[in-house]
Structure 1
Amino acid sequence: MTSQNKSVPAFGYEIIRDYALSTILGKHADDVLYWVGKDIARKFPCSDIQLIISFFEDAGWGTLSIEKEMKDGYIFQLTSDPDLLNIKNRKFRMEAGFIAEQIQCFKGCLTECYDEKKEKQSVVQFTVKWDTKEKIG
């Protein structure tokens, strides 16, 4: 049996993700989680947006979809079962860093991603922007 066929109970995942990490990282949690997301993206490169969307599903992060395409960015939306998304207690900086790094790699220019929780709709919106003047080698 491969690791892809095994599952971790949601409660165990939530303890680590939502409580232990924030205790360990303290006031630096947002920045560190963003850079962790970027590092994960380097270890699991995606060559296009569909692969990013598939990665989110495979990682159990939720359902990612493109809401809007712009000349210098995208707006993504993350949805899931409200209990699994745990929007009230969770930070989504790791996912934002992951998205930023993936898109930066295939666009070839400096890219940032910002997350915004929309608690009433139980969705997270990710706004991605890149700067074509800031090329990445």
Structure 2
Amino acid sequence: MDQSTYNKLLQQPAVSALGAGFIRDEVLPAILGSDQLTILYWIGRQMARQNPLSEEQAITTLFTQLNFGRLVQTHGGRKQQRFELNGPAVSHRLAAYPEASFDFEAGFLAQEIEIITGAATEGTVDEIHKDHVTFIIQSDPKNIVGEVAARVPSLNIHSEDTNDAEQSK
């Protein structure tokens, strides 16, 4: 999505997660079959490439805005980072679909980290619990694969505070 589309979508009223959940957890698995996890991971990476972000804080804000859940970094390092995805969006989704896939989020997160750092990066879903999901993001700082985010036009993500202020105008 371009900046204009993002801004327009951000201004729309909140909608039920029923439609998105139905497509995500019913329709896509039916279409993708046994290749679902791999395809969703690579679609996540592609979506991140089309919507590059310039800083990690923007990733957590966008995850919340897209209703993926609340993303929190639980371990940080040059080569490995761990993230937890939690909150009502995750626990409600897992209650309805205990076998839900979070590979799209893993791919999206890994690609955004790769864009920000320039280092080759892969992500995996580590564990799925009833109320949260953990991801491991592995980077190779010696393998620079692209331009660092500072030189890539990126999507300007509005913080939730900015969004609330804009909606009250």
Matches within 5 A, 1:57-96: 57-81=64-88, 82-86=91-95, 88-96=98-106
Confirm or deny: 8 A CA contact 1:110 1:134 kept in the other structure.
yes
User: Does residue 109 of structure 2 align to residue 99 of structure 1?
Assistant: yes
- The aligned length equals 135
Moved more, 100-109 or 3-12: 3-12
How far did residue 98 of structure 1 move? 0.4
Q: Greater strand percent: which structure?
A: 1
Percent identical: 31
Which runs of structure 2 are paired with 1:1-137 in the superposition (5 Å)? 2-4=8-10, 5-81=12-88, 82-86=91-95, 88-120=98-130, 122-137=131-146
* Cα pair 2:28 2:36 within 8 Å, conserved: yes
What RMSD over aligned residues (CA atoms) do the two structures have, in Å? Answer: 1.6
What SS is found at the alignment partner of 2:52? coil
When normalised by structure 2's length, the TM-score is 0.74
Deviation at 1:85, TM superposition (A): 4.9
Question: 2:153 corresponds to which residue?
Answer: none
List, as ranges, runs of 4+ consecutive aligned residues in structure 1 with deviation greater than 3 Å: 84-87
Q: Taking structure 1 as reference, are residues 44 and 84 closer, same or farther at Cα in structure 2, changes over 3 Å only?
A: same
Question: TM (normalized to structure 1)?
Answer: 0.90
